[in-house]
Chains A and B, each alone.
Chain A
């Protein structure tokens, strides 16, 4: 299972309390994890990635294993620790204004 953490506003939209656990078929990448997330929680469509372009929204960041993955290609494999469920894939709202 892939673990995903979401910012508070998105947890509330998806009506979940803590981490989300997802089955991801095939390679574990940003795209496949987010596809699985949106399939399970369709109310999150458009809140993390643009509906049309699938680009990450400007004020959203991705982190895992202490690394900023926001600017990594969406089809690059995520770290093995994410793929094995040891570490979560973190969707984070960028901090603006402190």
Chain B
């Protein structure tokens, strides 16, 4: 029988939740990397035992961890599993932790500064990896979205990282500015039908697309309308919180923006609002059903200053029509006195026949639905604040 592995990143470590295909009983493993912030934790689509973790700390910086056995053992890439801590000859010297912006004349130009909160120019300063996105075809290739916003790629399993500097240098980088959570590249979507195309999103610069494997980029923010910036329809400056797509239809994108839920039917060239009857269209997560490309999920949050569900009721909203018509999913979720948040990387779906949907909260709960959202139950209730949730459907 197939199974499910839920990869959970929290403010104080990583957890792995596993179950068989029934998704009724769960084993909990962790905390891994206890005490560290785990912004993201994701497995390779081509080798489910290959997992990548972003482990960081305000004190000690960024660490990349890798497992080649489904999370049983871990190592920093460049250090073989179980190898003594002394340096073996030829081992890269901590390169797996090294994210250095490209300043070379050949590939790192034009260099820019970005805008600081007060609008003054500010140099790029690396802080952490927000998101790791393994390649769809090669377990040794993985992308990393970082703060301050940039995209890095490793082609050697995370041992070394190179910036795809065409994104930062494409022309609008000097106008990017941080949102409340920092200036982070938090979303990386790989087009399963076109290896050359990918989408990224940056808070608070907007969404961008490459059609040549990351060499050149352009903003894809036409149709976004953000009242919190001086020009609400500017090409740059929109606080995109999350984008999702269905692998069967990668030209259709769904976006949860700071405010507004949006849809694009032309790979981001234009966007239309699909907030419809949502009680509030502020939120962080958005995801798509594994088998129904028009079925999408969001978790409405009251406002940009009140990061909790409206009326103290934790409700997932589902649209089966690709937006505009939404239904509240409440069965099994707390419907009073609930004031948690659901952060942008904290929702995922499995690909079992009856699609499972999962999300984690800042209150430490991870909720699962084995019936596409009709009913929910907590897998765990008392983890540290959940930052990210990813799901692997295992054979």
* A and B found bound together: yes
Interface residues of A (CB under 8 A from B): 7-10, 13-16, 38-48, 50-52, 57, 59-60, 93-94, 96
Known: A40-B87, A51-B98, A51-B100. Is A46-B78 also a contact (CB below 8 A)?
no
Q: A15-B85, A46-B98, A51-B100 are in contact. List 18 more A-B contacts (CB 8 A).
A: A8-B35, A13-B60, A14-B85, A39-B87, A40-B87, A41-B85, A42-B78, A43-B76, A43-B79, A45-B94, A46-B94, A46-B97, A47-B60, A47-B61, A47-B97, A57-B59, A59-B58, A93-B60
**Residues on B with beta carbons closer than 8 Å to the beta carbon of A59:** 58-59
**Does B1 make an interface contact (CB < 8 A)?**
no
| A-facing residues in B43-92 (Cβ within 8 Å) | 57-63, 76, 78-79, 85-87, 91-92
Do B97 and A45 touch (CB < 8 A)? yes
Do B59 and A93 touch (CB < 8 A)? yes
**Residues on B with beta carbons closer than 8 Å to the beta carbon of A47:** 60-61, 63, 97
Do B86 and A40 touch (CB < 8 A)? yes
Interface residues of B (CB under 8 A from A): 35-36, 57-63, 76, 78-79, 85-87, 91-95, 97-100, 126
Do A52 and B100 touch (CB < 8 A)? yes
**Residues on A with beta carbons closer than 8 Å to the beta carbon of B76:** 43
Do A13 and B63 touch (CB < 8 A)? yes
Count, A-B residue pairs, CB within 8 A: 71
* A60 nearest CB neighbor, chain B only: B59
| A60 to B: closest C-beta gap in Å | 7
* B60 nearest CB neighbor, chain A only: A47
Known: A9-B35, A9-B59, A60-B59. Is A39-B100 also a contact (CB below 8 A)?
no
The docked-state distance in angstroms from the alpha carbon of A42 to that of B301 is 43
**Residues on A with beta carbons closer than 8 Å to the beta carbon of B100:** 51-52
**Residues on B with beta carbons closer than 8 Å to the beta carbon of A45:** 93-95, 97-98
* B103 nearest CB neighbor, chain A only: A52
A-B contact pairs, 27 of them (CB 8 A): A9-B36, A9-B59, A9-B60, A13-B60, A15-B85, A16-B85, A40-B87, A42-B78, A42-B87, A42-B92, A43-B85, A43-B97, A45-B93, A45-B95, A45-B97, A46-B61, A46-B62, A46-B94, A46-B97, A46-B98, A47-B60, A47-B97, A50-B61, A52-B100, A52-B126, A60-B59, A94-B59
* B57 nearest CB neighbor, chain A only: A9
The docked-state distance in angstroms from the alpha carbon of A68 to that of B118 is 34
**Residues on A with beta carbons closer than 8 Å to the beta carbon of B126:** 52
Across the interface, A44 reaches (CB within 8 A) one of B59, B91, B94, namely B94
| B96 to A: closest C-beta gap in Å | 8
**Residues on A with beta carbons closer than 8 Å to the beta carbon of B99:** 51
| B78 to A: closest C-beta gap in Å | 7
Do A42 and B94 touch (CB < 8 A)? yes
**Residues on B with beta carbons closer than 8 Å to the beta carbon of A41:** 85, 87
Across the interface, A42 reaches (CB within 8 A) one of B36, B59, B79, namely B79
| B338 to A: closest C-beta gap in Å | 27
* A52 nearest CB neighbor, chain B only: B100
* A59 nearest CB neighbor, chain B only: B59
Do B60 and A10 touch (CB < 8 A)? yes
**Residues on B with beta carbons closer than 8 Å to the beta carbon of A46:** 61-62, 94, 97-98
* A49 nearest CB neighbor, chain B only: B61
**Residues on B with beta carbons closer than 8 Å to the beta carbon of A50:** 61
| A68 to B: closest C-beta gap in Å | 17
**Residues on A with beta carbons closer than 8 Å to the beta carbon of B58:** 59, 96
The docked-state distance in angstroms from the alpha carbon of A15 to that of B86 is 10
**Residues on B with beta carbons closer than 8 Å to the beta carbon of A16:** 85
- With most chain A CB atoms within 10 A of its CB, the pick from B35, B61, B92, B99 is B61
The docked-state distance in angstroms from the alpha carbon of A50 to that of B59 is 11
**Residues on A with beta carbons closer than 8 Å to the beta carbon of B85:** 14-16, 40-41, 43
* A44 nearest CB neighbor, chain B only: B94
* A10 nearest CB neighbor, chain B only: B60
